[in-house]
Amino acid sequence: MEQTLKILVVDDDEVDRMTVRLALTTAGLPIELSEVSVCNDAIAHLKNTTYDCVFLDYRLPDADGLTLIQNLRSLEIKVPIVVLTGSGDEQIAVELMKAGATDYISKAKVSSETLHQVLRNAIRVHRAEMLLALAHHQLKESNDQLTRKNQELEKQRQQIHLQNLRLLEASRLKSQFLATISHELRTPMNAIIGFSQILLRPKFGQLTHQQKDMVERILNNGKHLLMLLNEVLDFSKLETGRFELKPELFDLPKIIEDTVAELRSLAEGKRLSLLVDIKLTNPRIFNDSTRVQQILVNLLSNAIKFTESGTIWVEVREIPQNKVAITVRDTGIGIAARDFKIIFEAFRQVDQTITRKYPGTGLGLAIVDSLVRMMGGKIILKSLLGVGSLFRIELPRQVKSLNTAFDDAALNLDSDYIFCATENPHHAHLQPSQQQHSSHSHGNQQQHSSHPKTSKVSIS
C-alpha cells in the first residue's frame, strides 16, 4: 500500500478520534485523514470524496452505525467500513457486519499494529468483493457471447470453469473462517460460563437477589451463545467433509427422555405441555448417540421456540425395514408452503431481519438435514400455518456410513430423503376416540395424546 490512503473517521468522541489518528500516524502509513462526528457529515463526505476506508463508531449523536450503513447502501456508496466498538459491543458489531460492515475492532485494542492490520485486511476484502462482483458481471457477458458466437464456445467454457474454481475456493475460505472464529470464541465463552457458575455457588459468598439475577443472566446468555458457536462449528465441519459419526449401541428411549428433561425448563417457561410417547419392542439402536440427541434438541428447541401455547409431542415408533421414526409435533405458528425449501438452507430463516421475533443462527434444520443424510435416513415435514408442524425423522437401526462429506445435495428438497406436505400435522392424532386428558401441573391446561394405551412421560 504505497499510495496515499484516504481515511474517514466517524466518531463524536474527540479522544477516540485522536487515538485512531495517532495510531495511524505511528503506523507510518501514507494517509490523508478526514474526521467527522455525525452521520450526516459522514454521508456528505462520502458523496463527494472516494475513501479507501471508514472507521465508524456505532453510537453517534444523530443516528447509529447501522443507519449509516443502510443509507450508504441505498446511495450505492461502496467503501470498506471498520466498526469501532466499546467493551461488550461485539454482538452489535457482528450485526453491523451482517448489514455490510467489513470488520470491527475494540477501541481498547486500538494500536498502530492492530489498525495497520485491520486497515490492510479491510481494503483487501473490499477489493476482493469488487473483483468478485466484476467477475460475476463478466461471466454474464461471457454467457451472452456464447449464445451469439458458437466459435468461442470452448474459450468461454474454460472461463466459466475457472470462475467456478474461484467460487469454490471462496466457499472453502468462508467455511474455514467460520470454523476458526467459532473455535476461538468458544474458549473465552467457556471461561465466562465457568466463572458465572462459580459465583453462583454459596461457598464463595452470598449474592444479593439483584446480583444473583445478573449472574444468572450472564450464565444463560453465555450458554446460549456457546450453543450458537457450536452450531456454526458443527456446520463448518459438515460443509468441509471433516465431520465423522461415532456409532455405538445405545438405549434410544433414555436419550429421548434425557433430552426432554434437559429442555423441560424452556417448555415450563412458556407454560407448554410436553408429552413423550415411546413404542419400541427393541429400545437399542446402533448410531451416534450424541448426534441423535443433537437432532432431537434442534427439533424440540424449534418446537418450543415457535409455539406460544398448547402442546408439544415427542413420539418414537418402530417402522418397517428395520427403522425407527422420531416425530416432534407442535401446536405452533406453522410453516407456509413457500418456506419449505428455505428452512433447510444454512443461515436462512423465514424472517431474516435483525429485529426478528425468533432468534437463532438459522443452522438448526440445516444441521438436522445433514446429519439425517449421513445416517441414511429421511425427513418428513407436515405443516399448516396457524395450526402447527410435524417433523418426522426416519433412521435405520444401524448406520452404514461412518463419514459422508457434505455437499449441495444435502439442501436439495427434490432428493429422496426430504418430503414436505401442506396439511394439518395433527389430523391423524386428534380423533375423539383417541384423545386422553391429564391435568397440567401449572393449572387447568390439558394434555392430548394419540395413543391412550401406551405409557407416557408428561413434562409440563
Contact assessment for residue 460 and residue 441, using Cβ atoms and an 8 Å cutoff: yes
| Cell numbers placing 342 | 428455505
Helix (H, G, I), strand (E, B) or coil at 101: coil
CA-only gyration radius of the chain, Å = 27
> Per-residue pLDDT for 405 more than 70?
no
CA dist 152 to 78, 135, 137, 179, 181, Å? 34, 18, 18, 41, 44
Q: Per the confidence metrics, is the pTM higher than 0.85?
A: no
The pairing of beta strand 53-57 with beta strand 5-10? parallel
pLDDT in tens, 210-256: 888 888 888 877 777 776 676 666 666 666 666 678 899 999 999 99
CA–CA separation, 393 and 374 (whole Å)? 13
Residue 183: per-residue pLDDT: 65
Min mean pLDDT across 258-272, 395-409, 426-440 is at: 426-440
Residue 175: per-residue pLDDT: 66
CA–CA separation, 449 and 175 (whole Å)? 43
Q: Which residue has the higher pLDDT, 455 or 184?
A: 184
With vertex at residue 75, the alpha carbon angle to CA 71 and CA 80, rounded to the nearest 5 degrees, is: 75
Residue 253: per-residue pLDDT: 94
> Per-residue pLDDT for 80 more than 80?
yes
> Per-residue pLDDT for 411 more than 70?
no
pLDDT in tens, 138-172: 888 877 776 777 777 777 788 888 888 888 777 66
Q: Which residue has the higher pLDDT, 253 or 118?
A: 253
Tell me the residue type at 196: S
CA–CA separation, 332 and 265 (whole Å)? 18
> Per-residue pLDDT for 68 more than 60?
yes
Residue 415: per-residue pLDDT: 46
Give percent of the chain above pLDDT 90: 19
CA–CA separation, 103 and 90 (whole Å)? 11
Residue 400: per-residue pLDDT: 79
pLDDT in tens, 417-444: 567 777 777 776 644 333 333 333 333 3
Min mean pLDDT across 233-247, 310-324, 407-421 is at: 407-421
Contact assessment for residue 315 and residue 329, using Cβ atoms and an 8 Å cutoff: yes
Residue 195: per-residue pLDDT: 81
Mean of the per-residue pLDDT values for the chain?
Answer: 78
Min mean pLDDT across 109-118, 196-205, 281-290, 316-325 is at: 196-205
Confidence of residue 449 (pLDDT cuts 50, 70, 90): very low
Residue 451: per-residue pLDDT: 36
> Per-residue pLDDT for 185 more than 50?
yes
- E strands, 17-108, are 31-36, 53-57, 81-85, 103-106
> Per-residue pLDDT for 344 more than 90?
no
Most confident of 125-129, 147-151, 257-261: 257-261
> Per-residue pLDDT for 401 more than 80?
no
Give percent of the chain above pLDDT 70: 77
What's the average model confidence in pLDDT over 330-347?
82
CA–CA separation, 434 and 425 (whole Å)? 15
Confidence of residue 331 (pLDDT cuts 50, 70, 90): very high
Q: What are the structural domains, with CATH classification, of the chain? A: 5-125 (3.40.50.2300), 151-239 (1.10.287), 248-459 (3.30.565.10)
> Per-residue pLDDT for 314 more than 90?
yes
CA–CA separation, 423 and 379 (whole Å)? 16
pLDDT in tens, 347-375: 666 554 444 455 556 677 888 888 888 88
Buried b vs exposed e over 184-221: b needs ≥16 C-beta within 10 Å? ebbeebeebbeebeebeeeeeeeeeeeeeeebeebbee
Min mean pLDDT across 37-41, 207-211, 299-303 is at: 207-211
Residue 24: per-residue pLDDT: 86
